[in-house]
A and B are shown apart, each in its own frame.
Chain A
Amino acid sequence: MASSLEHFVNSVRNLSGEGSWRELYEFLGKSPDVLMRNSEHLDTVLDTLDPQQHSLGVLAIYMVKFMILNQSAIQNQGILVPEPEILINQVSQFITVCNGEQIRCAPDSFAELCNQFTQCLVEQEMPARGIVPLSKAIRKARMNETQLTSIHANLLQLCLMAQNLKPALEFLNVEISEINSENGYFDAKHFLLYYYYGGVINMACKNFDRALYSFEVALTTPSSAVSHIMLESYKKYILVSLILHGKVAPLPKYTSQVVNRLLKPMSAIYHEITTVFATNKPSSLELVLQKHRDVLQRENNWGLAKQVQQSLYKKIIQRLTQTFLTLSLSDMALRVQLPNVMEAEKLVLTMIEDGDIYASISQKDGMVLFHDNPDKYDSTSTVERVQKEVNICIELDMQVQKMEEAICTNPVFVKKASGAIDEDDGGRSSATSALQGAATKVPSFSM
Chain B
Amino acid sequence: MNSIKSVNAVEPMQVDVSEENENAEEEPYIVENPTLDIETYTSSYHGMAKLSRLMFIADHCPSLRIETLKMAIAAVQETYNVTLYQQLHRKLQEAISGLTPAQIQALELPSYDVAWAESKMKKAALKLEKLDTDLKNYKANSIKESIRRGHDDLGDHYLDYGDMSNALKCYSRARDYCTSSKHVIHMCLNVIKVSVYLQNWSHVLSYVNKAESTPDFAESSNSKDGGQALVTHLQCAAGLAELATKKYKCAARHFLQANIDHCDLPELLSPSNVAVFGGLCALATYDRAELQKHVISSSSFKLFLELEPQLRDIIHKFYESKYASCLKLLEEMKDNLLLDMYLAPHVPALYTKIRNRALIQYFSPYMSADMRRMAEAFNTSVAALEDELMQLILDGQIQARIDSHNKILFAKDADQRSSTFEKSLNLGEEFKRRTRLLVIRAAVLRNQIHVKSSPRDSGGQTTEVAIPSSSGSSPRN
A contact set with B: CB distance below 8 Å? 122, 148, 157, 160-161, 163, 175-179, 181, 184, 186-189, 191-193, 196-197, 200-201, 203-204, 213, 216-217, 220-230, 232, 252, 254, 256-258, 261-262, 265-266, 268, 300, 303-304, 306-307, 319, 322-328, 331, 365, 367, 370, 372-373, 375-377, 382, 385-386, 389-390, 392-393, 396-397, 399-400, 403, 443, 445, 447
Q: Mark B435-476, 1 if CB is under 8 A from A, else 0.
A: 111111111111101111100000001011111111111111
In the complex, which residues of chain B have a beta carbon less than 8 angstroms from the beta carbon of A375? 418
Q: Mark B386-410, 1 if CB is under 8 A from A, else 0.
A: 0001100110000001111110001
Shortest Cβ-Cβ A-B pairs, 7 listed: A303-B476, A223-B451, A225-B453, A377-B421, A225-B9, A326-B405, A389-B428
Instruction: Decide: A400 near B437, CB < 8 A? Known: A224-B2, A256-B4, A261-B12.
Output: no
> In the complex, which of the residues B393, B433, B466 contacts A322, with contact meaning CB atoms closer than 8 Å?
B393
Is residue B477 within 8 Å, beta carbon to beta carbon, of the partner chain?
Answer: yes
Name the interface residues of B1-27: CB closer than 8 Å to any CB of A.
Answer: 1-2, 4-10, 12-13, 15
27 A-B residue pairs with Cβ-Cβ distance under 8 Å, sorted by A, are: A177-B439, A188-B452, A192-B451, A217-B437, A221-B444, A221-B450, A222-B2, A222-B444, A224-B4, A224-B451, A224-B453, A225-B7, A225-B8, A230-B451, A232-B471, A258-B4, A300-B471, A300-B474, A303-B476, A324-B390, A324-B404, A326-B404, A377-B418, A389-B425, A390-B428, A393-B431, A396-B432
Residue of A nearest to B392 (CB): A323
The answer to whether B469 and A176 touch across the interface, beta carbons within 8 angstroms, is: no
Name the distance in Å between A123's Cβ and chain B's nearest Cβ.
10
Bound CA span A248–B194, Å: 44
Instruction: Decide: A377 near B468, CB < 8 A? Known: A188-B450, A224-B453.
Output: no
Name the distance in Å between A199's Cβ and chain B's nearest Cβ.
10
Is residue B417 within 8 Å, beta carbon to beta carbon, of the partner chain?
Answer: yes
Is residue B37 within 8 Å, beta carbon to beta carbon, of the partner chain?
Answer: no
Residue of A nearest to B410 (CB): A325
Bound CA span A111–B446, Å: 20
Instruction: Decide: A179 near B446, CB < 8 A? Known: A204-B474, A204-B475, A204-B476.
Output: yes
Name the distance in Å between B348's Cβ and chain A's nearest Cβ.
20
The answer to whether A257 and B4 touch across the interface, beta carbons within 8 angstroms, is: yes
The answer to whether B404 and A322 touch across the interface, beta carbons within 8 angstroms, is: no
In the complex, which residues of chain B have a beta carbon less than 8 angstroms from the beta carbon of A196? 468, 471
Bound CA span A175–B425, Å: 20
Name the distance in Å between B173's Cβ and chain A's nearest Cβ.
41
Instruction: Decide: A300 near B417, CB < 8 A? Known: A179-B444, A331-B404, A400-B439.
Output: no
Is residue B415 within 8 Å, beta carbon to beta carbon, of the partner chain?
Answer: yes
Residue of A nearest to B431 (CB): A393
Count B interface residues, CB 8 Å: 70
The answer to whether B404 and A213 touch across the interface, beta carbons within 8 angstroms, is: no
B contact set with A: CB distance below 8 Å? 1-2, 4-10, 12-13, 15, 389-390, 393-394, 401-406, 410, 415, 417-418, 421-422, 424-425, 428-429, 431-447, 449-453, 461, 463-477
Residue of B nearest to A175 (CB): B436
Residue of B nearest to A399 (CB): B439
Instruction: Decide: A181 near B447, CB < 8 A? Known: A252-B437, A396-B432.
Output: yes
Name the distance in Å between A433's Cβ and chain B's nearest Cβ.
24
The answer to whether A222 and B447 touch across the interface, beta carbons within 8 angstroms, is: no
Name the distance in Å between B283's Cβ and chain A's nearest Cβ.
27
The answer to whether B440 and A176 touch across the interface, beta carbons within 8 angstroms, is: yes
The answer to whether A227 and B465 touch across the interface, beta carbons within 8 angstroms, is: yes
> In the complex, which of the residues B390, B435, B477 contacts A323, with contact meaning CB atoms closer than 8 Å?
B390
The answer to whether A324 and B438 touch across the interface, beta carbons within 8 angstroms, is: no
In the complex, which residues of chain B have a beta carbon less than 8 angstroms from the beta carbon of A325? 401-404, 410
Name the distance in Å between A302's Cβ and chain B's nearest Cβ.
8
Name the distance in Å between B6's Cβ and chain A's nearest Cβ.
8
In the complex, which residues of chain A have a beta carbon less than 8 angstroms from the beta carbon of B418? 373, 375-377
Name the distance in Å between A169's Cβ and chain B's nearest Cβ.
13
The answer to whether A160 and B440 touch across the interface, beta carbons within 8 angstroms, is: no
In the complex, which residues of chain B have a beta carbon less than 8 angstroms from the beta carbon of A300? 471-472, 474
Bound CA span A230–B432, Å: 24
Instruction: Decide: A226 near B10, CB < 8 A? Known: A160-B473, A200-B471, A331-B404.
Output: yes
The answer to whether A224 and B438 touch across the interface, beta carbons within 8 angstroms, is: no
In the complex, which residues of chain A have a beta carbon less than 8 angstroms from the beta carbon of B469? 122, 157
The answer to whether A393 and B428 touch across the interface, beta carbons within 8 angstroms, is: yes
Name the distance in Å between A274's Cβ and chain B's nearest Cβ.
16
The answer to whether B477 and A161 touch across the interface, beta carbons within 8 angstroms, is: no
> In the complex, which of the residues B422, B437, B464 contacts A216, with contact meaning CB atoms closer than 8 Å?
B437
Given contacts A228-B467, A389-B425, 16 further A-B contacts (CB under 8 A): A196-B468, A217-B440, A220-B441, A221-B449, A224-B8, A224-B451, A225-B452, A226-B8, A229-B468, A252-B437, A268-B15, A324-B402, A373-B418, A389-B429, A392-B428, A393-B432
In the complex, which residues of chain B have a beta carbon less than 8 angstroms from the beta carbon of A328? 404-405
Point out which of B389, B441, B444, B468 has the most chain A C-beta atoms below 10 A from its C-beta. B468
In the complex, which residues of chain A have a beta carbon less than 8 angstroms from the beta carbon of B428? 389-390, 392-393
Name the distance in Å between A299's Cβ and chain B's nearest Cβ.
9
Point out which of B429, B433, B435, B451 has the most chain A C-beta atoms below 10 A from its C-beta. B451
Name the distance in Å between B402's Cβ and chain A's nearest Cβ.
5
Bound CA span A382–B467, Å: 46
Residue of A nearest to B451 (CB): A223
The answer to whether B468 and A232 touch across the interface, beta carbons within 8 angstroms, is: yes
Bound CA span A223–B1, Å: 11
The answer to whether B471 and A188 touch across the interface, beta carbons within 8 angstroms, is: no
Name the distance in Å between B425's Cβ and chain A's nearest Cβ.
7
The answer to whether A188 and B470 touch across the interface, beta carbons within 8 angstroms, is: no
Residue of B nearest to A374 (CB): B418
In the complex, which residues of chain A have a beta carbon less than 8 angstroms from the beta carbon of B429? 389
Name the distance in Å between B143's Cβ and chain A's nearest Cβ.
52
Bound CA span A285–B429, Å: 31
Name the distance in Å between A195's Cβ and chain B's nearest Cβ.
9
Instruction: Decide: A178 near B443, CB < 8 A? Known: A187-B463, A225-B465, A397-B435.
Output: yes
The answer to whether B425 and A386 touch across the interface, beta carbons within 8 angstroms, is: yes
Bound CA span A184–B449, Å: 10
In the complex, which residues of chain A have a beta carbon less than 8 angstroms from the beta carbon of B440? 176-177, 217
In the complex, which residues of chain B have a beta carbon less than 8 angstroms from the beta carbon of A189? 463-466
Instruction: Decide: A201 near B474, CB < 8 A? Known: A221-B449, A326-B405, A403-B439.
Output: yes
The answer to whether A220 and B437 touch across the interface, beta carbons within 8 angstroms, is: yes
Point out which of A148, A224, A258, A319 has the most chain B C-beta atoms below 10 A from its C-beta. A224
Bound CA span A177–B443, Å: 6
Bound CA span A392–B432, Å: 8
In the complex, which residues of chain B have a beta carbon less than 8 angstroms from the beta carbon of A223? 450-452
In the complex, which residues of chain B have a beta carbon less than 8 angstroms from the beta carbon of A266? 13
